[in-house]
Amino acid sequence: MTSADQLDQLHDRLFAERPNKKGDRFERITALVFAALGEGQARWQVHRGGAGRRAKHRIDVEVERDAGCHRLVVECKHWDEKVGQDVANSVASRRDQLGANEAAIVSTRGFTSGAQDVAAGEGIRLVLVKPLAEDDDWRGVVKRIVMHGTFIAPEIRDFTWLAYAPEDAGRGGPIDPAVLATIDSPEDQLDVLGLDHEDGSRAERLGELLALRSSVPESGEHEQEVVFEEFGISGPRYVTGHRDRVRIRGLRWTERVAVAKSSFTVNPPSPGLLWIEEIVAGADPARRVLMDHQLRPWRFDENGVLMPAPADDAPNG
Protein backbone atom coordinates (compact mmCIF):
# COMPACT_ATOMS: atom_id res chain seq x y z
CA MET A 1 0.00 0.00 0.00
CA THR A 2 1.41 3.39 -1.01
CA SER A 3 1.67 6.41 1.26
CA ALA A 4 -1.06 8.12 -0.78
CA ASP A 5 -3.38 5.15 -0.27
CA GLN A 6 -2.71 5.20 3.47
CA LEU A 7 -3.48 8.92 3.66
CA ASP A 8 -6.72 8.39 1.74
CA GLN A 9 -7.77 5.62 4.12
CA LEU A 10 -6.89 7.77 7.10
CA HIS A 11 -8.93 10.66 5.69
CA ASP A 12 -11.97 8.42 5.21
CA ARG A 13 -11.70 7.15 8.78
CA LEU A 14 -11.65 10.67 10.16
CA PHE A 15 -14.14 12.48 7.94
CA ALA A 16 -17.65 11.56 6.86
CA GLU A 17 -17.37 13.31 3.47
CA ARG A 18 -14.64 12.76 0.86
CA PRO A 19 -13.45 15.37 -1.67
CA ASN A 20 -12.51 14.02 -5.09
CA LYS A 21 -9.07 15.62 -5.24
CA LYS A 22 -6.25 13.97 -3.32
CA GLY A 23 -4.81 17.42 -2.67
CA ASP A 24 -8.02 18.46 -0.93
CA ARG A 25 -7.93 15.33 1.22
CA PHE A 26 -4.34 16.05 2.24
CA GLU A 27 -5.24 19.65 3.09
CA ARG A 28 -7.98 18.41 5.40
CA ILE A 29 -5.57 16.03 7.12
CA THR A 30 -3.10 18.91 7.51
CA ALA A 31 -5.79 21.02 9.18
CA LEU A 32 -6.41 18.12 11.56
CA VAL A 33 -2.69 17.84 12.36
CA PHE A 34 -2.40 21.51 13.37
CA ALA A 35 -5.60 21.30 15.41
CA ALA A 36 -4.59 18.04 17.12
CA LEU A 37 -1.18 19.51 18.01
CA GLY A 38 -2.89 22.44 19.72
CA GLU A 39 -1.67 25.10 17.27
CA GLY A 40 -5.05 26.83 17.19
CA GLN A 41 -8.33 26.83 15.30
CA ALA A 42 -7.76 25.38 11.83
CA ARG A 43 -9.74 26.37 8.74
CA TRP A 44 -9.63 24.70 5.34
CA GLN A 45 -9.51 26.61 2.04
CA VAL A 46 -9.74 30.28 2.95
CA HIS A 47 -9.73 33.08 0.36
CA ARG A 48 -8.15 36.34 1.50
CA GLY A 49 -6.78 39.47 -0.12
CA GLY A 50 -3.90 41.59 1.01
CA ALA A 51 -4.34 45.14 2.26
CA GLY A 52 -5.15 47.44 -0.67
CA ARG A 53 -5.29 44.54 -3.16
CA ARG A 54 -8.32 43.33 -5.09
CA ALA A 55 -6.94 39.87 -5.91
CA LYS A 56 -7.51 37.15 -3.32
CA HIS A 57 -5.24 34.28 -2.45
CA ARG A 58 -6.46 30.75 -1.86
CA ILE A 59 -5.03 29.57 1.46
CA ASP A 60 -4.95 25.77 1.83
CA VAL A 61 -5.12 25.87 5.64
CA GLU A 62 -5.25 28.83 7.99
CA VAL A 63 -4.65 28.49 11.73
CA GLU A 64 -5.65 31.20 14.19
CA ARG A 65 -5.01 31.58 17.88
CA ASP A 66 -5.18 34.28 20.53
CA ALA A 67 -8.67 35.28 19.35
CA GLY A 68 -7.47 35.72 15.79
CA CYS A 69 -4.55 37.99 16.68
CA HIS A 70 -2.03 35.41 15.47
CA ARG A 71 -2.50 33.91 12.01
CA LEU A 72 -0.56 31.09 10.33
CA VAL A 73 -1.02 30.36 6.62
CA VAL A 74 -0.19 26.84 5.46
CA GLU A 75 0.65 25.65 1.95
CA CYS A 76 0.09 21.88 1.41
CA LYS A 77 2.01 19.87 -1.20
CA HIS A 78 0.95 16.26 -1.73
CA TRP A 79 3.58 15.71 -4.41
CA ASP A 80 5.70 12.76 -5.53
CA GLU A 81 8.85 14.89 -5.30
CA LYS A 82 10.39 17.21 -2.74
CA VAL A 83 9.23 20.81 -2.48
CA GLY A 84 11.70 23.25 -4.06
CA GLN A 85 12.82 26.78 -3.32
CA ASP A 86 10.36 28.39 -5.78
CA VAL A 87 7.48 27.26 -3.57
CA ALA A 88 9.25 28.60 -0.47
CA ASN A 89 9.74 31.99 -2.15
CA SER A 90 6.08 32.10 -3.21
CA VAL A 91 4.85 31.26 0.29
CA ALA A 92 7.05 33.93 1.86
CA SER A 93 5.64 36.52 -0.55
CA ARG A 94 2.06 35.43 0.12
CA ARG A 95 2.54 35.62 3.89
CA ASP A 96 3.80 39.19 3.58
CA GLN A 97 0.99 40.26 1.25
CA LEU A 98 -1.66 38.83 3.56
CA GLY A 99 -0.11 40.29 6.70
CA ALA A 100 0.02 36.87 8.37
CA ASN A 101 2.26 36.28 11.37
CA GLU A 102 3.63 32.94 10.18
CA ALA A 103 3.78 30.70 7.14
CA ALA A 104 4.36 26.96 6.81
CA ILE A 105 4.76 24.47 4.00
CA VAL A 106 3.56 20.92 4.60
CA SER A 107 4.84 18.14 2.34
CA THR A 108 4.47 14.38 2.11
CA ARG A 109 7.93 13.95 0.54
CA GLY A 110 10.22 16.54 2.12
CA PHE A 111 12.15 19.61 0.96
CA THR A 112 15.15 20.34 -1.21
CA SER A 113 18.19 22.03 0.25
CA GLY A 114 17.25 25.17 -1.68
CA ALA A 115 13.80 25.24 -0.09
CA GLN A 116 15.39 24.78 3.33
CA ASP A 117 17.77 27.68 2.70
CA VAL A 118 14.90 29.99 1.69
CA ALA A 119 12.80 28.85 4.66
CA ALA A 120 15.65 29.52 7.08
CA GLY A 121 16.11 33.03 5.71
CA GLU A 122 12.41 33.87 5.54
CA GLY A 123 11.32 32.21 8.78
CA ILE A 124 9.02 29.68 7.08
CA ARG A 125 8.16 26.46 8.88
CA LEU A 126 8.78 23.25 6.91
CA VAL A 127 6.69 20.28 8.06
CA LEU A 128 6.73 16.70 6.81
CA VAL A 129 3.46 14.78 7.29
CA LYS A 130 3.20 11.14 6.27
CA PRO A 131 1.89 7.80 7.51
CA LEU A 132 4.27 6.15 9.97
CA ALA A 133 5.94 3.33 8.03
CA GLU A 134 7.40 0.06 9.29
CA ASP A 135 10.97 1.14 8.46
CA ASP A 136 10.71 4.61 10.07
CA ASP A 137 12.50 5.52 13.28
CA TRP A 138 10.05 4.43 16.00
CA ARG A 139 12.11 5.67 18.94
CA GLY A 140 9.78 6.87 21.66
CA VAL A 141 6.76 5.31 19.95
CA VAL A 142 5.05 2.04 20.87
CA LYS A 143 5.40 -0.04 17.72
CA ARG A 144 3.61 -3.09 19.00
CA ILE A 145 2.74 -4.72 22.31
CA VAL A 146 3.64 -8.37 22.85
CA MET A 147 2.08 -10.01 25.89
CA HIS A 148 3.25 -13.36 27.24
CA GLY A 149 0.94 -15.02 29.72
CA THR A 150 1.14 -18.07 31.95
CA PHE A 151 -2.24 -19.30 33.10
CA ILE A 152 -2.44 -21.65 36.07
CA ALA A 153 -5.61 -23.56 36.90
CA PRO A 154 -5.17 -25.37 40.25
CA GLU A 155 -7.44 -28.07 41.65
CA ILE A 156 -6.93 -28.68 45.39
CA ARG A 157 -7.88 -32.00 46.91
CA ASP A 158 -7.03 -34.27 49.87
CA PHE A 159 -6.81 -31.21 52.08
CA THR A 160 -5.75 -32.14 55.62
CA TRP A 161 -4.32 -30.43 58.66
CA LEU A 162 -1.19 -31.35 60.58
CA ALA A 163 -1.86 -32.01 64.28
CA TYR A 164 -0.08 -29.67 66.69
CA ALA A 165 0.57 -32.32 69.38
CA PRO A 166 0.52 -36.14 69.48
CA GLU A 167 -2.68 -36.16 71.50
CA ASP A 168 -4.38 -34.24 68.70
CA ALA A 169 -3.37 -36.66 65.97
CA GLY A 170 -6.33 -38.96 66.44
CA ARG A 171 -8.76 -36.06 66.33
CA GLY A 172 -7.34 -34.52 63.15
CA GLY A 173 -7.75 -35.59 59.59
CA PRO A 174 -9.31 -34.38 56.39
CA ILE A 175 -11.55 -31.35 56.44
CA ASP A 176 -15.14 -32.53 56.64
CA PRO A 177 -16.30 -33.34 53.08
CA ALA A 178 -19.83 -32.42 54.08
CA VAL A 179 -18.65 -28.89 54.81
CA LEU A 180 -16.74 -28.61 51.53
CA ALA A 181 -19.73 -29.92 49.59
CA THR A 182 -21.74 -26.85 50.58
CA ILE A 183 -19.25 -24.51 48.85
CA ASP A 184 -19.15 -24.12 45.08
CA SER A 185 -15.47 -23.83 44.14
CA PRO A 186 -12.04 -24.53 45.62
CA GLU A 187 -11.36 -20.79 45.69
CA ASP A 188 -14.48 -20.22 47.77
CA GLN A 189 -13.55 -23.12 50.02
CA LEU A 190 -10.22 -21.50 50.78
CA ASP A 191 -11.88 -18.16 51.42
CA VAL A 192 -14.73 -19.39 53.63
CA LEU A 193 -12.92 -21.94 55.77
CA GLY A 194 -10.79 -20.05 58.25
CA LEU A 195 -8.62 -20.63 61.28
CA ASP A 196 -9.16 -19.45 64.84
CA HIS A 197 -6.86 -18.33 67.61
CA GLU A 198 -7.11 -20.06 70.96
CA ASP A 199 -9.60 -17.43 72.21
CA GLY A 200 -11.86 -18.11 69.22
CA SER A 201 -11.01 -14.95 67.28
CA ARG A 202 -10.44 -15.28 63.54
CA ALA A 203 -6.85 -15.97 62.47
CA GLU A 204 -5.51 -16.26 58.92
CA ARG A 205 -7.83 -17.36 56.16
CA LEU A 206 -6.78 -20.50 54.38
CA GLY A 207 -6.24 -18.59 51.17
CA GLU A 208 -3.60 -16.47 52.90
CA LEU A 209 -1.75 -19.57 54.08
CA LEU A 210 -1.90 -21.23 50.69
CA ALA A 211 -0.10 -18.21 49.25
CA LEU A 212 2.94 -19.35 51.28
CA ARG A 213 3.21 -22.63 49.38
CA SER A 214 6.08 -23.43 47.09
CA SER A 215 5.82 -22.31 43.49
CA VAL A 216 4.14 -24.61 40.99
CA PRO A 217 5.91 -24.11 37.66
CA GLU A 218 4.74 -27.22 35.87
CA SER A 219 1.55 -29.05 35.10
CA GLY A 220 0.83 -32.18 37.12
CA GLU A 221 0.17 -33.18 40.71
CA HIS A 222 2.17 -31.57 43.50
CA GLU A 223 2.21 -32.34 47.20
CA GLN A 224 2.10 -29.08 49.14
CA GLU A 225 2.70 -28.36 52.81
CA VAL A 226 2.71 -25.25 54.98
CA VAL A 227 4.10 -25.57 58.50
CA PHE A 228 3.24 -22.39 60.37
CA GLU A 229 6.45 -21.93 62.37
CA GLU A 230 8.56 -22.20 59.21
CA PHE A 231 6.84 -19.04 57.96
CA GLY A 232 7.06 -17.07 61.23
CA ILE A 233 3.53 -17.89 62.38
CA SER A 234 3.78 -18.49 66.12
CA GLY A 235 1.37 -20.41 68.26
CA PRO A 236 -1.20 -23.00 67.32
CA ARG A 237 -4.21 -22.42 65.14
CA TYR A 238 -7.56 -24.09 65.62
CA VAL A 239 -9.90 -25.54 63.03
CA THR A 240 -13.28 -27.18 63.46
CA GLY A 241 -13.40 -30.52 61.64
CA HIS A 242 -15.85 -33.33 61.49
CA ARG A 243 -15.18 -34.29 65.11
CA ASP A 244 -14.24 -31.29 67.24
CA ARG A 245 -12.00 -28.25 67.46
CA VAL A 246 -8.39 -29.28 66.79
CA ARG A 247 -5.08 -27.53 67.34
CA ILE A 248 -2.99 -27.63 64.16
CA ARG A 249 0.58 -26.68 63.22
CA GLY A 250 0.18 -26.67 59.49
CA LEU A 251 -1.67 -27.74 56.38
CA ARG A 252 -1.06 -30.39 53.73
CA TRP A 253 -2.82 -30.99 50.42
CA THR A 254 -2.49 -32.31 46.90
CA GLU A 255 -2.61 -29.74 44.12
CA ARG A 256 -3.34 -30.75 40.56
CA VAL A 257 -2.19 -27.97 38.25
CA ALA A 258 -2.75 -27.24 34.58
CA VAL A 259 -0.33 -24.64 33.19
CA ALA A 260 -0.89 -23.01 29.80
CA LYS A 261 1.32 -20.44 28.12
CA SER A 262 0.30 -18.10 25.32
CA SER A 263 1.48 -14.96 23.53
CA PHE A 264 -0.60 -12.17 22.08
CA THR A 265 0.57 -9.32 19.86
CA VAL A 266 -1.24 -6.01 19.47
CA ASN A 267 -0.23 -3.91 16.48
CA PRO A 268 -1.16 -0.23 16.13
CA PRO A 269 -3.98 0.13 13.60
CA SER A 270 -2.70 1.39 10.26
CA PRO A 271 -3.06 3.93 8.71
CA GLY A 272 -4.08 5.56 11.99
CA LEU A 273 -0.59 6.83 12.76
CA LEU A 274 0.93 10.03 11.39
CA TRP A 275 4.59 10.97 11.45
CA ILE A 276 5.11 14.73 11.90
CA GLU A 277 8.61 16.10 11.38
CA GLU A 278 9.37 19.81 11.44
CA ILE A 279 12.60 20.83 9.76
CA VAL A 280 14.50 23.37 11.86
CA ALA A 281 17.61 25.01 10.39
CA GLY A 282 20.78 24.01 12.22
CA ALA A 283 19.03 21.55 14.52
CA ASP A 284 17.70 18.02 14.55
CA PRO A 285 14.16 17.70 13.16
CA ALA A 286 11.42 18.13 15.77
CA ARG A 287 9.54 14.86 15.55
CA ARG A 288 6.05 14.04 16.71
CA VAL A 289 3.72 11.11 16.18
CA LEU A 290 -0.05 11.41 16.27
CA MET A 291 -1.71 8.22 17.44
CA ASP A 292 -5.21 6.95 16.76
CA HIS A 293 -6.64 8.26 20.01
CA GLN A 294 -5.48 11.77 19.05
CA LEU A 295 -6.92 11.60 15.54
CA ARG A 296 -10.54 11.69 16.54
CA PRO A 297 -13.37 12.08 14.03
CA TRP A 298 -13.80 15.70 12.94
CA ARG A 299 -15.93 17.66 10.52
CA PHE A 300 -15.76 21.04 8.83
CA ASP A 301 -18.57 23.48 9.42
CA GLU A 302 -20.10 25.65 6.68
CA ASN A 303 -17.23 28.15 7.07
CA GLY A 304 -14.53 25.50 6.67
CA VAL A 305 -13.60 25.55 10.38
CA LEU A 306 -12.45 22.19 11.76
CA MET A 307 -14.69 21.07 14.62
CA PRO A 308 -15.00 17.83 16.65
CA ALA A 309 -17.76 15.75 15.08
CA PRO A 310 -20.79 14.69 17.15
CA ALA A 311 -20.67 11.02 18.10
CA ASP A 312 -23.54 10.11 15.78
CA ASP A 313 -21.89 11.97 12.87
CA ALA A 314 -18.57 10.13 12.99
CA PRO A 315 -17.63 7.89 10.04
CA ASN A 316 -17.43 4.15 10.56
CA GLY A 317 -14.12 2.34 11.01
- pLDDT tens digits for 25-71? 999 999 999 999 999 999 999 998 877 777 788 999 999 999 889 99
Distance CA 250, CA 21 (A): 78
Question: Does residue 136 register a pLDDT over 60?
Answer: yes
Question: Whole-angstrom Cα distance, residue 128 to residue 97?
Answer: 25
Mean local confidence (pLDDT), 198-204 = 81
Inform me whether the pLDDT recorded for 242 exceeds 50. Answer: no
Task: Give the torsion through C-alpha atoms of 95, 96, 99, 104, to 10 deg.
Answer: 20
pLDDT digits (tens, 9 = 90+) for 245-275: 778 888 888 888 888 888 888 776 555 688 8
| Cα 227 from Cα 238, distance rounded (Å) | 14
Q: What is the mean pLDDT of residues 127-141?
A: 79
Range of lowest pLDDT (94-103, 127-136, 308-317)? 308-317
Distance CA 39, CA 300 (A): 17
- 208-215: Cβ within 8 A, 24+ apart: 209/251, 210/156, 210/251, 213/255
Of residues 193 and 229, more confidence is placed in 229
CA angle 306, 312, 316 (to 5 degrees): 85
Cβ-Cβ contacts under 8 Å for 237 (sequence gap 6 or more):
195, 196, 197, 203, 204, 228, 247, 248, 249
